[in-house]
């Protein structure tokens, strides 16, 4: 194998798992859109996995070298720097273009997406070398993307009519491509002239980051000689500076978009939707994921975390402070961004968000802030299980996807049990061969399918919380399998929590199905042995379950259920009002008085039951 081929394989291996993560996220988004969500919410071509995944993939080839501190080694090898550049660029282009192809296939052609991909591919290396970290490069790329989006909207506003709009759009695309070429050249030049000037920790954007907070803010967050807990919290707030920067970027973007809506001829609704996308992608997605993964990831990479663990303060408290500050940062960042956007765009902004998060005020607030908090926690968990910010950030969506899939699998197994539960049928017949009253059924159904079903999120969340607390102290192992090993128990618990609540429901369902079948079977058997023309309402025909079983063939199930029961048969007549609207009533009505004091009356294909605690099956079709 040639040296060049070996180097390309090494580059491909370094980017393979992140590529898989972005691809899975893109495919999941595709399925999500196919289920109709996109039509109701955002414009075509929108997917956070695409807009954030592409810059991550594009920044990784050089970002990885900074993260693993191998960049000086790379540059000291006897290989022409331009060769290094071209090999990395080829591998990165392959990864990015395959994701773009899936995006194109799933969501159709989009000029904006195409331009975004080309400019990102061409500029990512330059931004990575400037920022000296993947995260910094992603942020700079997003900033560049935001600028492009604003330029596009401005052009559409200025040149509203054809052919001027077409000419302007073409010019804009040409300008973007020219910009991409310039950035490509700058990236090559930057690498050719690159000097390793930093100390052993590198000089990346994240390490220099807290320095950007100057004056009052820095003074407020500067560590004091007392209050160790507050010092830890201050340190965390400062470490999360990219989250604050993204929030600021989001606010700037929203305000710029808000400025455009006052221009004549601009679609306010479309701008509001763009603002929703900007807030969702930057503050709702990127910032929340970074808030969770950043402080753990960076401290793990630099080794500061193991040093912090030797301080005389409990590891549990350190873990709690880290998690609390991360959730606070994601919550505060999102709250600020949503508040500013609402102030700029008014009620329509909340209405569009409401399409995704629920129109009820309380549900809306709960969803808008709970979902990002969960995302932050998921990222924090990934940060504890793995090593490095980007690794943790890329793990978030596959890990969440695995837990969601496990939950769906549990639900599917539960449904199977519900529909074809021979074991459950046996148990019902053996232990409770009678229907359950509404009083019993309602709380169980509510626990499984109603509002209380949220309760079943608690066990996997609790387990993940305990796990993250334990993993916080541990030295993370390199390798993909250890993260899967940690994820497996959470996925199993999620699956069980989805499956187990369906067992009582299956029990109820199968019990009800058996009673339904028995009542109708009894009614039909009665019709075979009783001459309905001779029935008299004043003197109803009385039978016992045993009499009926002797005279007509009954199933084993019906024979068991009819033990100690009496059957009363009356001619049709004096139908209750609710029954008069039903068709196909039989010429006789059969009432079964079961051993458990239930009275069930069949009117042909319809029946209802009167129980000691109320009505049941009113009117239930078998």
Partner 1 sequence: MRSSSEPVIAITNLSRKFGSKMVLSEVSLSVPRGSVFGLVGENGAGKSTLIKHILGLLRAEAGTVRVFGLDPVSEPVSVLARIGYLSEQPDLPGWMRVDELMRYMRAFYPKWDTAYAEQLREQFGLNPAARIKTLSKGQRTKAGLLAAQAHRPDLLLLDEPSSGLDPIVRRDILEAVIRTVADDGRTVFFSSHLLEEVEQVSNHVAMIHQGKLVLCGPLDEIRERHHGLSLNEIFVCQFTHAGGVSGD
In the complex, what is the shortest distance from the CB of residue 199 to partner 1, in angstroms, rounded to a whole number?
Answer: 5
620 strand-pairing partners: 607
Residue 356, C-beta contacts closer than 8 angstroms, at least 6 positions apart? 37, 40, 41
User: Measured between alpha carbons, how far is 595 from 560 in angstroms, rounded to an integer?
Assistant: 11
Taken in order 402, 405, 409, 410, is the CA torsion positive or negative?
Answer: positive
In the complex, what is the shortest distance from the CB of residue 487 to partner 1, in angstroms, rounded to a whole number?
Answer: 19
Shorter beta-carbon distance to partner 1: residue 226 or 581: 226
Residues 537 and 571: beta-carbon distance below 8 Å: yes
480 binds partner 1 (CB under 8 A): no
Site string for partner 1, 286-315 (x = CB under 8 A): ----------------xxxxxx-xxxxxxx
In the complex, what is the shortest distance from the CB of residue 204 to partner 1, in angstroms, rounded to a whole number?
Answer: 10
Lookup: tokens for 218:
């820095």
In the complex, what is the shortest distance from the CB of residue 238 to partner 1, in angstroms, rounded to a whole number?
Answer: 7
Query: Please, what is the angle between helix 3-34 and helix 389-419, to 10°?
Result: 50
User: Measured between alpha carbons, how far is 398 from 16 in angstroms, rounded to an integer?
Assistant: 14
Lookup: tokens for 200:
């052993």
Residues 521 and 605: beta-carbon distance below 8 Å: no
Site string for partner 1, 313-342 (x = CB under 8 A): xxx---------------------------
User: Measured between alpha carbons, how far is 406 from 490 in angstroms, rounded to an integer?
Assistant: 9
Q: Which residue has the tokens 């995944």?
A: 53
Shorter beta-carbon distance to partner 1: residue 259 or 303: 303
Strand 607-611 relative to strand 599-602, pairing: antiparallel
Of residues 172 through 231, those in contact with partner 1 by CB under 8 A are 198-201, 203, 207-211, 222-228, 230-231
Shorter beta-carbon distance to partner 1: residue 225 or 265: 225
End-to-end alpha-carbon separation of the chain, Å? 71
Shorter beta-carbon distance to partner 1: residue 207 or 562: 207
In the complex, what is the shortest distance from the CB of residue 329 to partner 1, in angstroms, rounded to a whole number?
Answer: 17
Shorter beta-carbon distance to partner 1: residue 75 or 313: 313
Of residues 123 through 162, those in contact with partner 1 by CB under 8 A are none
User: Measured between alpha carbons, how far is 620 from 622 in angstroms, rounded to an integer?
Assistant: 6
Shorter beta-carbon distance to partner 1: residue 314 or 442: 314
Shorter beta-carbon distance to partner 1: residue 238 or 593: 238
Q: Is 274 exposed, middle or buried (0-12, 13-18, 19+ CB in 10 A)?
A: buried
Residue 575, C-beta contacts closer than 8 angstroms, at least 6 positions apart? 585, 603
In the complex, what is the shortest distance from the CB of residue 15 to partner 1, in angstroms, rounded to a whole number?
Answer: 27
> Applying CB under 8 A, which of residues 7, 156, 238, 608 lies at the interface with partner 1?
238
Site string for partner 1, 417-456 (x = CB under 8 A): ----------------------------------------
Shorter beta-carbon distance to partner 1: residue 160 or 477: 477
Q: Which of 165, 185, 298 has the alpha carbon at shortest distance from 241? A: 298
Site residues for partner 1 per CB under 8 A: 198-201, 203, 207-211, 222-228, 230-231, 235, 238, 302-307, 309-315, 473
């Amino acid at each position: 194998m040639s040296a060049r081929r070996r180097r390309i394989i090494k580059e491909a291996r370094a980017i393979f798992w992140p590529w898989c993560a972005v691809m899975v996220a893109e495919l999941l988004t595709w399925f999500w859109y196919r289920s109709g969500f996109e039509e109701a919410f955002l414009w075509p071509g929108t997917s956070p996995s695409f807009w954030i995944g592409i810059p991550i993939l594009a920044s990784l080839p050089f970002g990885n070298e900074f993260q693993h501190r191998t960049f000086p080694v790379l540059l000291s090898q006897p290989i022409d720097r331009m060769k290094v550049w071209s090999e990395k660029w080829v591998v990165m282009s392959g990864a990015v273009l395959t994701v773009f192809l899936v995006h194109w296939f799933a969501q159709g052609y989009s000029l904006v997406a195409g331009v975004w991909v080309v400019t990102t591919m061409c500029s990512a290396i330059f931004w990575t070398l400037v920022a000296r970290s993947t995260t910094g490069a992603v942020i700079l790329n997003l900033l560049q993307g935001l600028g492009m989006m604003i330029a596009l909207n401005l052009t559409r506003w200025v040149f509203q009519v054809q052919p001027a709009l077409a000419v302007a759009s073409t010019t804009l695309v040409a300008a973007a491509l020219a910009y991409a070429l310039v950035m490509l050249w700058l990236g090559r030049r930057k690498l050719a002239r690159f000097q390793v000037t930093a100390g052993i920790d590198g000089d990346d954007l994240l390490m220099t980051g807290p320095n950007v907070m100057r004056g009052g803010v820095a003074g407020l967050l500067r560590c004091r000689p007392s209050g160790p807990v507050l010092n830890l919290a201050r340190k965390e707030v400062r470490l999360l500076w990219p989250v604050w920067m993204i929030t600021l970027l989001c606010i700037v973007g929203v305000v710029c978009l808000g400025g455009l809506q006052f221009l004549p001829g601009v679609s306010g609704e479309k701008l509001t939707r763009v603002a929703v996308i900007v807030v969702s992608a930057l503050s709702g997605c990127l910032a929340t994921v970074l808030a969770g993964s950043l402080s753990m990831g960076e401290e793990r990479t630099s080794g500061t975390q193991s040093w912090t663990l030797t301080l005389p303060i409990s590891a549990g408290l350190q873990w709690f402070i880290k998690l609390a500050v991360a959730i606070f940062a994601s919550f505060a960042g999102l709250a600020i961004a949503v508040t500013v956007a609402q102030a700029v765009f008014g009620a329509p902004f909340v209405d569009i968000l409401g399409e995704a998060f629920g129109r009820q005020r309380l549900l809306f607030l709960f969803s808008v802030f709970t979902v990002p908090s969960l995302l932050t926690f998921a990222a924090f968990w990934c940060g504890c299980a793995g090593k490095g910010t980007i690794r943790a950030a890329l793990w978030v969506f596959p890990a969440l996807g695995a837990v969601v899939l496990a939950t769906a699998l549990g639900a599917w197994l539960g449904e199977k049990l519900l529909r074809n539960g021979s074991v459950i049928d046996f148990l019902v017949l053996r232990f409770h061969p009678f229907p359950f009253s509404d009083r019993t059924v309602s709380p169980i159904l509510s626990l499984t399918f109603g509002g209380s079903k949220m309760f079943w999120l608690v066990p996997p969340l609790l387990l993940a919380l305990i796990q993250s607390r334990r993993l916080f102290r541990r030295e993370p192992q390199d390798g993909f399998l250890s993260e899967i090993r940690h994820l497996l128990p959470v996925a199993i618990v999620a699956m069980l929590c989805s499956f187990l609540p369906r067992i009582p429901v299956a029990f109820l369902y199968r019990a009800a199905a058996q009673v339904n079948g028995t009542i109708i079977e009894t009614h039909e058997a009665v019709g075979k042995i009783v001459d309905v023309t001779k029935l008299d309402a004043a003197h109803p025909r009385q039978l016992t379950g045993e009499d009926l079983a002797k005279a007509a063939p009954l199933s084993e199930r019906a024979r068991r259920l009819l033990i100690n029961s009496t059957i009363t048969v009356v001619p049709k007549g004096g139908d209750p009002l609710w029954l008069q609207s039903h068709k196909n009533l039989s010429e006789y009505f059969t009432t079964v008085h079961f051993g458990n004091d239930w009275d069930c009356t069949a009117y042909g294909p319809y029946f209802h039951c009167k129980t000691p605690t109320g009505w049941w099956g009113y009117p239930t079709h078998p």
